[in-house]
Structure 1
Amino acid sequence: MIVWRKASRSNTSGGNCVEVAQRPGSVGVRDSKDPNGPTFALSQETFRLLVRDVKAGDLDKP
Protein backbone atom coordinates (compact mmCIF):
# COMPACT_ATOMS: atom_id res chain seq x y z
CA MET A 1 0.00 0.00 0.00
CA ILE A 2 1.33 3.43 -0.95
CA VAL A 3 0.92 6.08 1.75
CA TRP A 4 0.70 9.64 0.44
CA ARG A 5 1.65 12.64 2.55
CA LYS A 6 1.04 16.28 1.81
CA ALA A 7 4.09 18.48 1.38
CA SER A 8 4.84 20.55 4.48
CA ARG A 9 4.51 23.81 2.53
CA SER A 10 1.05 22.97 1.20
CA ASN A 11 -1.90 24.87 2.59
CA THR A 12 -5.69 24.67 2.64
CA SER A 13 -6.31 27.85 0.65
CA GLY A 14 -6.27 26.10 -2.73
CA GLY A 15 -2.72 26.98 -3.65
CA ASN A 16 -0.10 24.79 -5.25
CA CYS A 17 -0.18 21.54 -3.30
CA VAL A 18 1.60 18.28 -3.88
CA GLU A 19 1.67 14.94 -2.15
CA VAL A 20 4.58 12.53 -2.13
CA ALA A 21 4.86 8.83 -1.43
CA GLN A 22 7.83 6.55 -0.95
CA ARG A 23 7.66 3.76 -3.50
CA PRO A 24 10.03 0.86 -4.11
CA GLY A 25 13.01 2.52 -5.82
CA SER A 26 11.24 5.84 -6.47
CA VAL A 27 9.24 8.72 -5.06
CA GLY A 28 5.66 9.23 -6.22
CA VAL A 29 4.30 12.75 -6.75
CA ARG A 30 0.72 13.87 -7.34
CA ASP A 31 -1.53 16.94 -7.12
CA SER A 32 -3.22 16.91 -3.71
CA LYS A 33 -6.30 18.60 -5.19
CA ASP A 34 -6.73 15.66 -7.61
CA PRO A 35 -5.78 12.49 -5.68
CA ASN A 36 -7.40 10.25 -8.30
CA GLY A 37 -5.63 12.02 -11.15
CA PRO A 38 -2.28 11.29 -12.71
CA THR A 39 0.83 10.55 -10.68
CA PHE A 40 4.43 10.30 -11.67
CA ALA A 41 7.48 8.63 -10.21
CA LEU A 42 10.92 10.13 -9.85
CA SER A 43 14.10 8.35 -8.95
CA GLN A 44 15.20 9.15 -5.43
CA GLU A 45 18.17 11.12 -6.80
CA THR A 46 15.98 13.15 -9.18
CA PHE A 47 13.55 13.90 -6.36
CA ARG A 48 16.41 15.03 -4.12
CA LEU A 49 17.64 17.38 -6.87
CA LEU A 50 14.10 18.70 -7.43
CA VAL A 51 13.70 19.50 -3.73
CA ARG A 52 17.11 21.20 -3.71
CA ASP A 53 16.15 23.38 -6.69
CA VAL A 54 12.74 24.27 -5.22
CA LYS A 55 14.29 25.28 -1.90
CA ALA A 56 16.87 27.40 -3.71
CA GLY A 57 14.13 29.16 -5.71
CA ASP A 58 15.63 27.99 -8.98
CA LEU A 59 12.21 27.01 -10.34
CA ASP A 60 10.34 30.20 -9.38
CA LYS A 61 8.69 32.08 -12.20
CA PRO A 62 10.69 35.12 -13.35
Structure 2
Amino acid sequence: MTHHKAATTSPFTTGGWAAAASCGPNGGNCVQINLDTEGVVGVRDGKRPSGPVLAFTATSWRAFLAAVRAGRLER
Protein backbone atom coordinates (compact mmCIF):
# COMPACT_ATOMS: atom_id res chain seq x y z
CA MET A 1 0.00 0.00 0.00
CA THR A 2 1.22 3.46 -0.86
CA HIS A 3 0.85 6.16 1.77
CA HIS A 4 0.51 9.76 0.69
CA LYS A 5 0.95 12.90 2.74
CA ALA A 6 -2.17 15.07 3.03
CA ALA A 7 -2.08 18.28 1.01
CA THR A 8 -2.43 21.54 2.88
CA THR A 9 -3.90 23.42 -0.10
CA SER A 10 -6.54 22.31 -2.58
CA PRO A 11 -6.09 22.42 -6.35
CA PHE A 12 -9.90 22.61 -6.73
CA THR A 13 -11.86 25.82 -7.21
CA THR A 14 -14.63 26.55 -4.72
CA GLY A 15 -17.19 27.13 -7.46
CA GLY A 16 -16.40 23.95 -9.35
CA TRP A 17 -18.21 21.51 -7.07
CA ALA A 18 -21.33 19.74 -8.37
CA ALA A 19 -23.80 17.16 -7.12
CA ALA A 20 -26.72 15.35 -8.72
CA ALA A 21 -29.77 17.56 -9.34
CA SER A 22 -31.79 15.34 -6.98
CA CYS A 23 -29.56 16.50 -4.09
CA GLY A 24 -31.11 19.95 -4.03
CA PRO A 25 -29.35 23.30 -3.78
CA ASN A 26 -27.57 22.66 -0.45
CA GLY A 27 -25.80 19.39 -1.28
CA GLY A 28 -27.88 17.32 1.15
CA ASN A 29 -26.60 13.83 1.84
CA CYS A 30 -24.76 13.71 -1.45
CA VAL A 31 -21.25 13.33 -2.70
CA GLN A 32 -19.95 16.26 -4.72
CA ILE A 33 -17.35 16.09 -7.47
CA ASN A 34 -15.03 18.69 -8.96
CA LEU A 35 -13.67 18.35 -12.51
CA ASP A 36 -11.96 21.76 -12.72
CA THR A 37 -8.39 20.48 -12.36
CA GLU A 38 -7.14 18.75 -15.51
CA GLY A 39 -6.46 15.04 -14.97
CA VAL A 40 -7.76 15.04 -11.37
CA VAL A 41 -11.23 14.45 -9.92
CA GLY A 42 -12.06 15.77 -6.46
CA VAL A 43 -14.71 14.06 -4.31
CA ARG A 44 -16.12 15.43 -1.05
CA ASP A 45 -19.09 15.16 1.32
CA GLY A 46 -21.75 17.73 0.41
CA LYS A 47 -22.56 18.27 4.09
CA ARG A 48 -18.94 19.22 4.85
CA PRO A 49 -17.71 21.47 2.05
CA SER A 50 -14.70 22.58 4.09
CA GLY A 51 -13.88 18.98 5.06
CA PRO A 52 -11.39 16.61 3.45
CA VAL A 53 -11.30 15.99 -0.29
CA LEU A 54 -10.40 12.72 -1.97
CA ALA A 55 -8.45 13.25 -5.19
CA PHE A 56 -8.37 10.63 -7.94
CA THR A 57 -6.60 10.54 -11.26
CA ALA A 58 -9.04 10.79 -14.16
CA THR A 59 -8.14 7.21 -15.12
CA SER A 60 -8.90 5.88 -11.64
CA TRP A 61 -12.20 7.80 -11.55
CA ARG A 62 -13.29 6.33 -14.90
CA ALA A 63 -12.42 2.83 -13.65
CA PHE A 64 -14.45 3.42 -10.47
CA LEU A 65 -17.48 4.64 -12.45
CA ALA A 66 -17.25 1.64 -14.79
CA ALA A 67 -17.20 -0.72 -11.79
CA VAL A 68 -20.25 0.99 -10.27
CA ARG A 69 -22.18 0.86 -13.54
CA ALA A 70 -21.31 -2.83 -14.00
CA GLY A 71 -22.50 -3.66 -10.47
CA ARG A 72 -19.08 -4.95 -9.39
CA LEU A 73 -19.19 -3.02 -6.09
CA GLU A 74 -22.47 -4.43 -4.80
CA ARG A 75 -22.42 -6.68 -1.77
Question: Taking structure 1 as the reference length, what is the TM-score of the superposition?
Answer: 0.73
Partner of 1:18: 31
Distance 1:56 1:9 in 2: 23
Hey, which of these two has a bigger chunk of strand by percent?
1
Once superposed, which parts of structure 1, at least 4 consecutive aligned residues long, lie more than 2 Å away?
Answer: 8-12
Helix, strand or coil for the counterpart of 1:45?
A: helix
Alignment gaps of 5+ in structure 1: none
Distance 1:9 1:51 in 2: 18
Alignment gaps of 5+ in structure 2: 1-11
Q: Which of these two proteins has the greater Rg computed from alpha carbons? A: 2
Q: Percent identity?
A: 36
Residue-by-residue CA offset, 1:10-56 (whole Å, 9 max, x unaligned): 535x54x2111111321111111211110011000100011111112
